[in-house]
Every structure is written in C-alpha cells, then in structure tokens.
Amino acid sequence: MNTIETEHVVIRSIAVSEMSNNVHLLTAKETGSQVLIDAADDAAAITELVASGAQDTEAEPTLRAIITTHQHWDHIRALPDTSANFPEAMTIAGAADAAAITEAEGVEIAHSVDHLDVGDFGGFVLQAIALRGHTPGSIALLLRDGGQTILFSGDSLFPGGPGKTWSAEDFTSLMDDLEDRVFGELPDETLVLPGHGDSTTLGEERPKLGEWRERGW
C-alpha cells in the first residue's frame, strides 16, 4: 500500500488483479469522508483498503462515493460487490461511459459527470476532467489541497505517454484534451496517479508531448 498525505486528505493506494490496477482511497482528515476511485477487482482487498482509512481520521469514516474513471472491464470488476458492501456510497462515472458500465456490471451509475463538474465530498473537492479517446467518457479527477495538485488520470495518461487508443481520431482527441485540459491548465509539479503502474509528474512528461504526437497511436 502506498500513502500520500496532503493538508486535509490522506490517499491510500493498492494494486489489484493480474493487470496491476491501481485503486485509490481518499479520506478527509477532519470529517472522515471518503471517496474510492476505481473498484477494479478484489472486493475483499478494497474493503480492507476502505477500513484502513480509519487510521487517517478521528471522525467516523464514511465512504461517500465510488468513482469509476472509465468503462473498461478491468476497472469495474469489483464494482458490484463494492457498491453492495457500501450501499451509502454514490456511484459516479463520466456521462458517456455510464450506460456501458451499467450494461457490463449491472450497477446503476447514480451520478454522471461532465467536463469540469465539481464534487464537494465534505473535507475535499474533486473536479472531473473529461479526456476523450481511451473511451468516450473517460475522466481524470483533480484534487487541489494545501498547495498540492494531484491528478488521478485513469488510463488516459501514464509515465511515457497517453493511454491506448484504437483509431487516429481517438488518439488526436485524447492528445488534444491532454494538451488543452491537463498540460495547458496544471503546473509541472502536479502529481499524476494513473490507473496502472507508477506515478509521474506533468513536469516530467511535458517535454515528451511532441514525441507522443509524432509517434501517433
């Protein structure tokens, strides 16, 4: 388990499944409010992750939301069991992916979000950034807290390049959104926590944007 602490939030992350999917739990120190990002697999491990957040607050911890970054199967396998284990948690996903998630796993998405939608979870705020290309409704989630900027990028941005796309059009869409909505808006010190593998920063990746464009999909 990896842990990151900001002024008001503790982030605990684990990797699950044979695909090393990252699952992130945010816990507000003062209120105990929690948000889970990507119930990818292994509901038992996710339940333990949520319980571990009790160490990070003196309040009663409550999982307020389960947010899915995109519709792909490897990011939603534990969504049915996790939403059943935490029925008070609102299910959230990008608007253009919500129906596909419900069709695949039988879980209704209670709240669909679009680009720049903001959620106040009682102790911290997350903003959705739509990054179209890997899937139509892929979203990244932006946390700004105490001078730190953290981006949960799903499968849209990794160390070394954008997420996989399946056409030149989708690649261009994803690169345009990354350049305009991420690199064009956020500082170099922004920490990027992707859906698989290691973290990076925007400053580390920014010099490679031209290379990514040239490389194509």
**36-80 pLDDT, tens per residue?**
999 999 999 999 999 999 999 999 999 999 999 999 999 999 999
Domain boundaries, the chain: 2-215
Residue among 119, 124, 147 at smallest CA distance from 31: 124
- Residue the block writes with tokens 């070394």: 160
Model confidence band, residue 216 (pLDDT cutoffs 50, 70, 90): confident
- Residue the block writes with tokens 């996790």: 82
Query: What distance in Å separates the CA atoms of residue 45 and residue 43, rounded to the nearest whole number?
Result: 5
Residue pLDDT, tens place only, 154-167: 999 999 999 999 99
Residue pLDDT, tens place only, 4-48: 999 999 999 999 999 999 999 999 999 999 999 999 999 999 999
pLDDT at 217 over 90: no
Q: Which amino acid is at 48?
A: E
- Residue the block writes with tokens 């948000």: 35
CATH number of 2-215: 3.60.15.10
Query: What distance in Å separates the CA atoms of residue 164 and residue 76, rounded to the nearest whole number?
Result: 18
Q: Which amino acid is at 17?
A: S
pLDDT at 85 over 90: yes
Work out whether strand 191-194 and strand 33-37 pair parallel, antiparallel, or are unpaired.
unpaired
Label residue 54 left, alpha or beta by phi (over 0 means left) and psi (-120 to 50 means alpha). alpha
Q: Are 163 and 157 in contact (CB under 8 A)?
A: yes
**pTM score of the predicted model:** 0.97
